[in-house]
Structure 1
Amino acid sequence: MRTIVVGTRQSALALTQTGQVIDHLRELCKQHGIEAGFELKKIVTKGDRILDVTLSKVGGKGLFVKEIEQALLDGEIDLAVHSMKDMPFELPEGLVVGAVPLREDPRDCLITRDGRGLDDLPQGAKVGTSSLRRASQLQHYRPDLQIESIRGNIDSRLRKLETEGFDAILLAAAGLHRIGWQDRISAYLPPELCLPAVGQGALCIECRGDNEFVLDLLSKYKHEPTAVAVAAERSFLGRLNGGCQVPIGAHAHLTKESGPSIVLTGMVGSPDGKQVLKETMTGNNPQQLGLQLAEALIAKGAAELLALAEE
């Protein structure tokens, strides 16, 4: 029997979603008569080690994936489970995305101490987020809010909501869904108000490009509509040369109506939320669509806004 070593970060969410992936892969092995066992390897990344600084100040792309990708390249693990929103646009030579499974809810959500929604928060309410993208869009919608950085895993952020005087915190809905804590969600933020991060809610199963055994197994696991939507979003991100720590958001979905089949909306904002550029386009080719949308926003001044954020 072949043992497949699976690498992951060691947060509760990362371990939960990796466990769910392994369960699905075990089921696929059973269905297809593939003899394989699975072993978990926990890996600490730079983004996990530095918790006292906002993500945008830690800098660099791949904060939550570099060490895991190195373990892949070194042959210590056979595949890695990442949150797609943590993935830089370019992968190291020799590594590929083996599968993008079915996406969870891509939206951001609001958790408040008393269950109230965004419009019901008092003037000047203190809202916690480590994301420039969320902060930019929230300040754009409600300039009165006091946005403060909050880092840590999901449970430590939920604790800080109670202990550090926040009126609300913002999180990705997908993480709360995956660990079964959706009852903590006070309100979902519609993409019209707060576009999610590129790839938010989707997982990336990464492996070596020459590992045919693993590639064959993962080919049975991928969800094509999710893969196409995420490819459009990532093409948009790649053209803007953005990491997950700048105020860029995008969301694509497939439509079954006649004509173009991918609908992609993208945004670039200033860190203070005073300017938010947003555009929606439709098309059939995900890579081309992402590039076109990025060019449209660059023509409106997106590059200048991103330069501000990088500073």
Structure 2
Amino acid sequence: MRKIVVGCRKSALAVTQTEQVISDLTLLSQEHGMDFTFELKNIVTKGDLILDVTLSKVGGKGLFVKEIEQAMLDKEIDMAVHCLKDMPFELPKGLINGAVPKREDPRDCLISRSGAGLKDLKYGARVGTSSLRRSSQLAALRPDLIIEPIRGNIDSRLRKLENGEFDAIILAVAGLNRMGWEDRITEILSPETFLPAVGQGALGIECREDDAELRKLLNLYNDPQTALEVTAERTFLGVLNGGCHVPIGAFAVLNQAPNREAEATEHALQEITLTGMVGKSDGSIILRETHTGELPVQVGEEVAKLLIGNGAEKILTETMSH
């Protein structure tokens, strides 16, 4: 029997979602006659230690995964469960994303102390978020709001709201759902007006590329639809070379191609619709483009090219130079 050591951040959300994955993989391994046991190992990342500075100023997404990835390369752990939106586009040599399980709700939500939705928040309300993507879209929709940085785990952010430090905060619906705190949500923000982060709501199960035994199990756990959608989104991100430093959002939906004879067959032709955005951090400019196609990589590349053609490159360069 092989013991799989699973690396995990210490936050309540990270532990909760990792334990759920371990439970799912335990059942899968039993169903398919694989002899695995799992052990959770907590790892503190740089992103967990630096809480008084916005992510964009201290290194972006990789802050939450670097120490975990090094432990994997050193064979101290065998796999890790990440929020896919925290995973950089390029992974270290020797590591791969072994599975993307079925996606949770990808949308953002507003939680307010008064119970007011976004359009009904009082003039000049203080809204907490450290995401430039969220700040950009908030400022475009409500220029009067005072948008202030907020760091910390999901539970500490909710406490800051309750303590009166903010009138409202923006969080991912997926994290609240996984914690069983969906009743705290005041308003879910539609992707039609408020695009989520690339890969939001999805998990990435990272492992060593040469671990054939574990990869066989993870392949069974992979959700093909989610994998195609996030491939389009992450390709878009990769072309724009984006991260936490810049306001970039994307949302892909896989849908059956209409009016095709193949639709009723097992190999029905599917199309992916991707909407991407790049904006100025102050919300003064928001660029959005949508493209539909059959290949996720090509769809991601096309939306990025459309945005670049409309001036996205200049916005990204200006944002990253600040």
Q: TM-score, normalised by structure 1?
A: 0.98
Q: 1: distance between equivalents of 2:36 and 2:100?
A: 20
Alignment of structure 1 residues 162-181 onto 2, 5 Å: 162-181=162-181
Aligned equivalents of 1:164, 1:68: Cα separation in 2: 34
Separation in 2 of the partners of 1:136 and 1:35? 49
Match of 2:104 in 1: 104
CA offset digits 1:73-101 (Å, max 9, x no partner):
11111111000000111011111110000
For residues 164 and 236 of structure 1, what CA distance do their matches in structure 2 show?
A: 38
Task: Quote the residue 2:20 is aligned against.
Answer: 20
Higher mean alpha-carbon deviation, 258-267 vs 287-296, is at 258-267
Letter in 2 for 1:308: E
* Rounded Cα–Cα distance in structure 1 between residues aligned with 2:130 and 2:273: 28
1:46, 1:303 → 2: CA distance? 29
Aligned equivalents of 2:274 and 2:167: distance in 1?
32
**1:8, 1:306 → 2: CA distance?**
32
Take 1:242 and 1:163, find their aligned partners in 2: how far apart are those partners?
Answer: 34
- Taking the aligned partners of 1:150 and 1:76, their CA distance within structure 2 comes to 33
Q: Of residues 265, 268, 288 in structure 2, which corresponds to 1:278? A: 288
- After TM superposition, which residue ranges in structure 1, 4 or more long, deviate above 3 angstroms? none
Shift of 1:162: 2.2
Amino acid at match of 2:62: G
Q: CA deviation at 1:60?
A: 4.5
Deviates more, 1:162-171 or 1:49-58: 162-171
Matches within 5 A, 1:52-67: 52-67=52-67
Aligned mates of 1:249, 1:12 — CA distance in 2: 26
Partner of 2:319: 309
Match of 1:292 among 289, 296, 302: 302
User: Deviation at 1:61?
Assistant: 4.5
Instruction: Give the whole-Å Cα distance in 1 for the aligned partners of 2:48 and 2:164.
Output: 21
Quote how far apart the aligned CAs of 1:164 are.
4.1
Asked if the contact 1:197/1:249 (under 8 Å) is kept, the reply is yes
- Counterpart CA distance in 1 for 2:51 and 2:183 is 26
Structure 2 gap segments, 5+ residues each: 261-269
Deviation at residue 228 of structure 1 after TM alignment: 0.2
Report how many residues are paired: 311
Counterpart position of 2:79: 79
SS of residue paired to 2:221: coil
Q: What TM-score do the two structures reach when normalised by structure 2?
A: 0.95
Paired residues of 1:109 and 1:189 also in contact (CA < 8 A): yes
- Do 1:261 and 1:283's aligned partners in 2 also have CA atoms closer than 8 Å? yes
Distance in 1, Cα, partners of 2:302 & 2:6: 36
| Conserved 8 A contact 1:88-1:244 | no
Find the aligned partners of 1:153 and 1:36 in 2 and give their Cα distance: 31
Identity of aligned residues (%): 65
Moved more, 259-268 or 132-141: 259-268
> Which residue of structure 1 lines up, in the alignment, with residue 93 of structure 2?
93
Alignment pair present for 1:39 and 2:32: no
Per the alignment, residue 207 of structure 1 pairs with 207
**Equivalent position amino acid for 2:298 in 1:** Q
Worse-matched range after superposition: 40-49 or 226-235: 40-49
Partner residue, 2:267:
none
Matches within 5 A, 1:155-166: 155-166=155-166
Q: Which amino acid aligns with 1:273?
A: G
SS at match of 1:261: strand
Letter in 2 for 1:257: A
Per-residue CA deviations over 1:248-286 (Å, capped at 9, x if unaligned) read 000001012327610000000001000000001001111
Unaligned runs of 5+ in 1: none
